[in-house]
Chains A and B, each alone.
Chain A
């Protein structure tokens, strides 16, 4: 990806209101996460003047979002929670992206047995229910931030691999790849220097969408009681709130972390789908709104009818 390409993408991006709105939504959360120690009025784990009257008190001027069942400030927990969500989201998504791109690139470029083997692996991972698998692994392995990141990252690369593979299949038949081969470029060089740069923009768009998926996965795990016990995350706040505060209708403890998750993931979805629209002009509609991509996403199988990207489809069929 050259600088010029990057500039073009940037220029196209700022013309789209959905992308700008999403970017602003994400930036707010990123800034909050970075500035957490200065923004948070209290330490998230501090139990302030714990007396029975302080537990689950509604918002007042000292505690803008009230206090939880242990007398801790909810707003401070919310602010620090942004760090956990963003860390999990970005690191896990980066991991999936690296694994998915590598597997997709090798499978698409080399073809043959490696290709069919890795695609069967993708099929396999797609039929295994994610959340139960994550629950089982984390509860056996033990709770911890890095374990959660690893599990989400290692299970989330399938869509990227499939996407990269189909792109590589069409790119590798183009003339300049053949020319590079004739000149004597190695396979490694062709894959790394000529094919990889072509798929990177699409991979980045996919990765942004994957961040929101990872954030939701982390919050579900934490809500089900498997969050990192040493940290305060939004999902864990919801777990505590649900277990202890719902009967007392403590909305100030229940609603803010949930809406924070929705806020950041909707922001990311807006950015990701805008990016995808820009870098993949063959998609006439929004990627979320394209049935074939949707099917590939859900089912991991591309239907045989003509897809928007005709070359890619022809190649897929030939390879099979």
Chain B
């Protein structure tokens, strides 16, 4: 009973969060001076036909939130025929407007780019998890030694290192050795099969490494202290007394028990990793959603900016909700949350 209460609360909170983000996204682009949305519909870069289509789809000649005139006459349902409901309606149909720059539908651009960011973030998170777990384990096992101090010092410094600057340093260092920009050597196509994918892999090395170096530090610190906690438990002493080797204790006991928090932390870190992805993609010209956001900022492509933010925020919220649910399944003790 408590379990399902916990889940219901989490799901409700997730839904409220989503609603607030959508509302914020709507309001931010409309209440500010200059009214960018109206500017969009008047943009000379779009064709007359596109402007007319946008005007109808987003109800731009209607009131923003509530039609007070119609409410006074008793037409309650008609009073909600506003820009806000038009926006929600368009959103539910996957319509995020038209890009200023490329004149293509924003949802189309996002769909084309999103998997590239997913690949990058997944590669970066996986590498930093593997590194973080290993280094954290070593630091806890050898605590107080030079190895431990070295690992902690690394964690401290990477805390103060901006992601984009690390990317620039790696880019300078690796010039000539590895591809430093883009996703694939121009000219190669997916039809080339093996050659194409190894080329993509090579382009992925530097961006992944940049993310891993920055995000490993938090995993190291968490892993180190949770392993230290486990190692001080009585059952570890028992295992030692029974003659189990240190390696086996670390592998079978310490690792297993210290891993649980890592599952959630990995998902929760996503809110930060997404910000890192924007910087890394900008530095290495990785053509994902992050780079798209940077380009939208530079070219004042507001519909793209709005769509990208919505996509990133929704992705992080959904990932966190999933992690919450997963965690309560993995660890039945989590009920009261």
Contact = CB atoms under 8 A, between A and B. Distances in A.
Interface string B201-224: 000000000000000001001101
B293 A132 contact: yes
Interface in B271-297: 271-272, 274-275, 278-279, 282-283, 293-294, 297
A128 B222 contact: no
A132 B32 contact: no
Contact of A130 (B152, B162, B275): B275
B305 A126 contact: no
Interface in B30-66: 32, 36
A158 to B, nearest CB: 11
Interface string B145-179: 00000001001110111111100110110010000
A80 interface: no
A127 B271 contact: yes
B5 to A, nearest CB: 13
A97 interface: no
B313 to A, nearest CB: 6
A290 interface: yes
B26 interface: no
Contact of B164 (A123, A223, A294): A223
B134 interface: no
B275 A132 contact: yes
Contacts of A50: none
A193 to B, nearest CB: 34
Interface stretch (A31-39, A198-206, A261-269): A261-269
Given A246-B168, A320-B336, A262 B316 contact: no
Given A132-B308, A238-B168, A224 B282 contact: yes
Contact of B159 (A226, A269, A301): A269
Given A258-B165, A289-B152, A291-B221, A140 B29 contact: yes
Given A131-B274, A140-B36, A295 B265 contact: yes
Contacts of A273: 156
Given A132-B308, A294-B221, A127 B28 contact: no
A299 B264 contact: yes
Nearest to B311: A132
Contact of B279 (A128, A223, A270): A223
Contacts of A212: 159-160
A270 B155 CA distance: 12
Interface in A271-320: 273, 285-286, 288-292, 294-295, 298-299, 301, 303-304, 317, 320
Contact of B268 (A139, A140, A242, A298): A298
B160 A262 contact: yes
A257 to B, nearest CB: 8
A86 interface: no
Given A127-B316, A127-B317, A132-B312, A220 B162 contact: yes
A232 B274 CA distance: 27
B295 to A, nearest CB: 10
A305 B278 CA distance: 36
Contacts of A317: 336
A182 interface: no
A298 B313 CA distance: 16
A152 to B, nearest CB: 13
Interface in B293-308: 293-294, 297-298, 300, 302, 305-306, 308
Given A128-B316, A288-B221, A220 B275 contact: yes
A1 B250 CA distance: 45
B328 interface: no
A242 B168 contact: yes
Contacts of B298: 225
Contact of B293 (A127, A135, A235, A303): A135
A220 B29 CA distance: 23
A62 B320 CA distance: 54
Main secondary structure of the interface of B (DSSP, over half): helix
A318 B178 CA distance: 56
Q: Chain B interface residue count: which class?
A: 35 or more
A146 interface: no
Contacts of B169: 255, 258
Interface in B1-31: 13, 16-17, 20-21, 28-29
Interface string B93-106: 00000000000000
B229 interface: yes
Given A224-B279, A269-B160, A139 B297 contact: yes
A124 interface: yes
A262 B161 CA distance: 5
B261 A136 contact: no
A159 B229 CA distance: 24
A140 B28 contact: yes
A212 B28 CA distance: 28
A128 B17 CA distance: 9
A181 interface: no
A242 B280 CA distance: 13
B265 A135 contact: no
B320 A127 contact: yes
A83 B225 CA distance: 38
Given A129-B274, A294-B218, 4 more contacts: A129-B316, A130-B271, A258-B162, A285-B225
Interface of A: 120, 123-124, 126-133, 135-137, 139-141, 212, 216, 219-220, 223-226, 235, 238, 242, 246, 249, 251, 254-255, 258, 261-262, 265-266, 268-270, 273, 285-286, 288-292, 294-295, 298-299, 301, 303-304, 317, 320
29 contacts: A127-B316, A129-B272, A129-B274, A130-B272, A131-B274, A132-B275, A132-B308, A132-B313, A136-B306, A139-B297, A139-B300, A140-B305, A220-B164, A225-B294, A242-B168, A242-B283, A246-B172, A261-B160, A266-B157, A286-B152, A288-B159, A289-B225, A291-B221, A291-B224, A291-B226, A295-B261, A298-B218, A301-B337, A304-B336
